Amino acid sequence: MKAHTKETQSTMTPEKSLQFLKEGNQRFQSNLKANRNLLEQVNDTSEGQFPFATILSCIDSRVSAELVFDQGLGDIFSVRIAGNFVNEDILGSMEFACKLAGTKVIVVLGHTRCGAIKGACDDAKLGNLTAMLDKIKPAVNAVTSPEDASLRNSKNVEFVDNVSAKNVLLTIDKIREDSPVLVEMEEKGEIKIVGAMYDIHTGAVDFY
């Protein structure tokens, strides 16, 4: 499989780009890989890059977007931060990726058993981590069940995963709230902004 060129990127629609990611995850789950020569792709992309998707995911070592979607060099922009939330810098990166570099889909990818989410659920305090986890707290507060405070912590796996899912949705809301550039592109049908959850036990990505 060759690296994307300006010509192949131009044929990608938001729907087709999303389908490429879904098919890549199916290959990953089946322990199959597309036939690609990575060193050849190094050469192919040396003069430019034409990715079709932007993936915002957690820094978790088990959730590499390139691997779980079986993509090669030059295929996707990968933005990674603990808890897969957005701030001004990440939004700027997304605007560059879509408006200037031509990607057709933004995927906010959360995952099960997320350590950052667990930290937010437990109200963890540690240096700069404290301020970072505060950005995830809205998702914790938005999940109203269970009401029992003793069950609203990292030991409750179901609660943690529900907060992870809510965090994805709130992150998408934040993208639309704070980036007129991306909203306009979405309204024109130039891009899609979607959420997804990766299951660390199965390798499956569930798209919302």
* Domains defined along the chain, listed by start: 6-113+176-207 (3.40.1050.10)
What does DSSP assign to residue 201?
T
Compute φ and ψ for 106, nearest 5 degrees.
Answer: -110, 125
The pLDDT value recorded for residue 11 is 93
What does DSSP assign to residue 136?
T
197, 158 contact by CB (below 8 A): no
| C-alpha count within 13 angstroms, C-beta hemisphere, residue 55 | 30
The pLDDT value recorded for residue 80 is 98
Question: Within 10 Å of residue 194's Cβ, how many Cβ atoms?
Answer: 17
pLDDT in tens, the chain (208 residues): 788 888 888 999 999 999 999 999 999 999 999 888 888 889 888 888 999 999 999 999 999 999 999 999 999 999 999 999 999 999 999 999 999 999 999 999 999 999 999 999 999 999 999 999 999 999 999 999 999 999 999 999 999 999 999 999 999 999 999 999 999 999 999 999 999 999 999 999 999 9
Which token pair is 98?
């879509």
* pTM over 0.85, yes/no: yes
The pLDDT value recorded for residue 40 is 87
Question: Within 10 Å of residue 113's Cβ, how many Cβ atoms?
Answer: 16
Write out pLDDT tens, residues 43-64.
888 888 999 999 999 999 999 9
Look at the alpha carbons of 114, 120, 126, 132 in this order and tell me if their dihedral is positive or negative: positive
In whole angstroms, give the CA distance from residue 208 to residue 145. Answer: 21
The pLDDT value recorded for residue 7 is 87
Question: Within 10 Å of residue 10's Cβ, how many Cβ atoms?
Answer: 10
